[in-house]
Amino acid sequence: MAKISTAGNYGKEIRSDCMATLELTKSGGLKIDLISKVKDYFGDQIISLAKEELKFFGIKNAKLKIEDQGALDFVIAARIEAAVKQLIETDQEYLLEIIPQNTDQTAKDRPRRSRLYLPGNTPKLALNAGIYKPDGIILDLEDSVAPDKKFEATILVRNTLRSVNFYGAERMVRINQLPQGLDDLDHIIPQHVNVILVPKCETTDQLKAANNKIAKIKKEKNLNYEVWLIPIIESALGVINSYQIACCENVVGLAIGLEDYTADLGTQRTAEGNESFFARSQIVNSARAAKVQSFDSVFSDVNDMEALKQNVLTSKSLGFDGMGCIHPRQIPVIHANFAPTEKEIEKAKQIVAAFQEAKEKGLGVVSLGSKMIDAPVVKRAQKVLELVSVGGNN
């Protein structure tokens, strides 16, 4: 193994992160060299954290340099752990206390209008993500993390799941493409994660593998909470298999990833989106058939809110329940435009009222004016009102 290891990021533009450089020595005890703008305020605390962590891993003699730009404890701990694990073999994990808010479970059919993607190895973005009130926050281990940073990212994401308050957003992790992604689960599943996103999903075998791995971890660690799955369909084959995929255990919805899908088709994404019309409709249809939710792809131009709005309205009209986003400013636009219109709300209220009245009167048939109303229509109306209570912009 190497003699000196480094983990994390440090530089003029980098905030809320640090770089740990570790060298094991033969003698001399633990030497911690802290370079930090916040040394005056938190220096002693950082140094004692570092010493405690090194001792936890059984390291008695080492030189550790921490170059810090305002990293919080869970980040510093993750960076040190990543540096340690490059030098010594250990299965131990240095875990900080999990905050109580991060142990709650989520319902299978909760609203998932927006899910905000965050690069898993960039701690600064995670700290404030919850205040934008997305329905879900995705800590990404896949495309947004460079291959040589994957290892330290899993440790950071693990710590983030324990320490950062997401203020009610569902805690999601996008693992790497399988089979690599199965290893990510070891770190992630024990942290009360709510949803795992499985990228480039094409067959039910992949979800079975994920489910088996999750069940194994849960059994070993005696975990008794649900971990939901959202497969991301990103290929022609995935689209064709989407119904079977949606029917897999623990799946709460299907997401579509259009960048890879259009590449697979050999075509380009356009503003009109004709090339993906079939796939999007197929995903919505498969999801509905399997009684799960469906989520549209992200809209990548973060500066064009008007185009985003049009995109959301199209998604909604196709039948999607939500879409991904890559910038917090997109969240209110997504929420506002997935929200039912006033006309839809009025109609829904009338239908639900008529349904209640029929129920109270013991009538078998619900009618509004001269029209008979079927059960699925009532259900849809109830869902509309549910979305209203979630709020448009919050």
Partner 1 sequence: MQEQKCYEDELRNESNYMPINQIKNGVGRMIPTEINGKPVIPFMGLGKHRPTGKIIGPSIPTCLDFPEDGDKTLPSLKEALLKAGLKDGMTISTHHHLRDGDLIANEVFKIASERGIKYLIWYPSASFPCHEPLIEYLENGTIHHIEGSMNGPLGRFTSRGKMKGVGILRSHGGRVQALKDGEVIIDIAVLAAPTCDMFGNSTGQHGPSACGVLGYAKADALFAEKVIIVTDNLVDFPCMPMEIEGNYVDYVVVVDKIGLPEKIISGTTQITKNPDRLQLAELTARFLLESGILKDKCFMQAGAGGTSLAIGDYVHQIFREKGWKIQVGFGGSTKYMVDMLKDGTMEHILDAQAFDLEAVRSIEENANHHHYPVFNAYNFHSKGNLNSMMDISILGATEVDVNFNGNVVTHSDGYLLHGIGGWQNCLHAKNVILPLPLVRHGIPVIRDEVTTVVGPGELIDVIVTQFGIAINPRRTDLLEKMKNSNLPIKTIEELKEEAERICGVQEKPKFTDKIVAAVKWVDGTVIDVVRQVEE
CB of 29 to partner 1, least distance (A): 23
Helix axes 342-360 and 375-390, enclosed angle (nearest 10):
120
Residue 45 as a binder of partner 1 (CB under 8 A): the answer is: yes
Residue 385 near residue 352, CB atoms below 8 Å: yes
Residue 98 as a binder of partner 1 (CB under 8 A): the answer is: no
Q: How many CB atoms lie within 10 A of CB 108?
A: 13
Q: How far apart are the first and last CA of the chain?
A: 50
In the list 131, 263, 289, 307, the residue contacting partner 1 (rule: CB under 8 A) is 131
In the list 26, 27, 40, 342, the residue contacting partner 1 (rule: CB under 8 A) is 40
Residue 70 as a binder of partner 1 (CB under 8 A): the answer is: yes
Residue 132 as a binder of partner 1 (CB under 8 A): the answer is: yes
Residue 96 as a binder of partner 1 (CB under 8 A): the answer is: no
What CA–CA distance (Å, rounded) separates 153 from 213? 20
What CA–CA distance (Å, rounded) separates 81 from 58? 12
Task: Tokens for 207, please give them.
Answer: 């979800």
Q: Is 164 exposed, middle or buried (0-12, 13-18, 19+ CB in 10 A)?
A: buried
Element containing residue 306 per DSSP (H, E) = helix 305-318
What's the angle, vertex CA 319, arms to CA 303 and CA 299, rounded to 5?
Answer: 15
Q: Is 230 left (phi over 0), alpha (psi -120 to 50) or beta?
A: beta
Binding pattern to partner 1, positions 319-358, x when CB under 8 A?
A: --------xxx-----------------------------
CB of 351 to partner 1, least distance (A): 27
Residue 31 as a binder of partner 1 (CB under 8 A): the answer is: no
Binding pattern to partner 1, positions 243-282, x when CB under 8 A?
A: ----------------------------------------
Residues comprising the chain, all counted: 394
In the list 90, 105, 128, 270, the residue contacting partner 1 (rule: CB under 8 A) is 128
Nearer to partner 1, 72 or 233 (CB): 72
Give the footprint of partner 1 on this chain (CB under 8 A): 15-16, 37-38, 40-45, 69-73, 99, 127-128, 131-132, 165, 327-329, 391, 394
